[in-house]
């Protein structure tokens, strides 16, 4: 492979990388707080709330993300609800990953000893103070490994936005590969995915080590 070929296809792949990273970061920003809210709703004393939330989680986890992307972009447009490709991708990814993260956060909440809640009441803390100052820090420490797995999966799942025509890194590589009848663009794209997952893995491991000092 000549270096000039690499530099020839690099701008297209770099543009696709921006789209991939955009979907990745907006999914993290949107799905984490939504996942926390859903996990709290799962502990609601009201059966109807728990039933609705469990139904949402069942639907999101029981159907492929690829199908959800197609539904939100093409399906909703058929009934008059139009979204841009990016908005449809962001919405599908956020609500899908929020469902998975909600289960992770629920497990973290269940792992916190009930005595922590009782101690907070004795100290006179209200529910919000108890959650943010005592419970949430412990939950974060507990869920980091499982959360990390989901984040790594998210890096790879961003390739699915190709199905609704978004110009992500995989689409850019596919265009170059088809045009030049070469597998080299795919190899470059694969290498970039490896680099991204490697960076995420290292960052999460460092975070896990720092959180391990919490007692």
- State whether residue 113 is helix, strand or coil: coil
206 close to 27: Cβ distance less than 8 angstroms:
no
Structural domain harbouring 134: 3-211
Domain CATH code at residue 111? 1.10.3720.10
Task: Express each pLDDT in 87-110 by its tens digit.
Answer: 999 999 999 999 999 999 999 888
- State whether residue 82 is helix, strand or coil: coil
Averaged pLDDT for residues 14-28: 92
Q: Decide if pLDDT at 67 tops 90.
A: yes
Reported as a pLDDT band with limits 50, 70 and 90, residue 2 is low
34 close to 197: Cβ distance less than 8 angstroms:
no
pLDDT at residue 214, as a whole number: 55
Count: domains in the chain: 1
**CA-to-CA separations, 211 to 48, 103, 110, 204, in angstroms, rounded:** 36, 21, 19, 10
Give CA–CA dist 204/211, Å, rounded.
Answer: 10
How far from chain centre, in Å, is Cα 190?
20
Q: Decide if pLDDT at 26 tops 90.
A: yes
* Closest to 38 (Cα-Cα) out of 91, 96, 93, 99: 99
Task: Express each pLDDT in 171-214 by its tens digit.
Answer: 888 888 888 878 888 888 899 999 999 999 999 888 878 776 65
pLDDT at residue 102, as a whole number: 95
Give 184 or 153, the one with higher predicted confidence: 153
Helix 85-111 with 136-157: angle, nearest 10 deg: 140
pLDDT at residue 205, as a whole number: 87
Answer positive or negative: Cα dihedral of 6, 9, 10, 11: positive
The string over 105-120, giving b where at least 16 C-beta atoms fall within 10 Å of a residue's C-beta and e elsewhere, is: bbebbeebeeeeeeeb
pLDDT at residue 131, as a whole number: 80
Tokens of 159: 């390739």
């Amino acid at each position: 492979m000549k270096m000039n070929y690499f530099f020839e296809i690099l701008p297209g792949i770099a543009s696709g990388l921006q789209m991939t990273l955009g979907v990745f970061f907006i999914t993290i920003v949107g799905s984490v707080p939504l996942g926390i809210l859903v996990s709290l709703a799962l502990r609601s004393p009201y059966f109807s709330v728990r039933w609705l939330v469990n139904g949402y989680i069942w639907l999101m986890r029981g159907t492929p993300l690829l199908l959800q992307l197609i539904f939100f972009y093409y399906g909703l447009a058929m009934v008059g609800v139009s979204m841009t490709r990016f908005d449809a991708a962001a919405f599908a990814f956020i609500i899908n990953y929020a469902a998975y993260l909600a289960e992770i956060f629920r497990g973290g909440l269940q792992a916190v000893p009930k005595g922590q809640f009782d101690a907070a009441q004795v100290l006179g803390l209200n529910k919000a103070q108890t959650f943010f100052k005592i419970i949430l820090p412990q939950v974060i420490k507990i869920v980091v490994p499982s959360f990390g797995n989901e984040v790594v999966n998210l890096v790879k799942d961003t390739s699915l936005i190709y199905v609704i025509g978004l110009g992500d890194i995989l689409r850019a590589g596919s265009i170059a590969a088809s045009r030049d009848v070469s597998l080299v663009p795919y190899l470059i794209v694969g290498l970039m995915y490896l680099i991204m997952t490697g960076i995420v893995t290292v960052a999460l491991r460092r975070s896990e080590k720092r959180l391990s000092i919490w007692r």
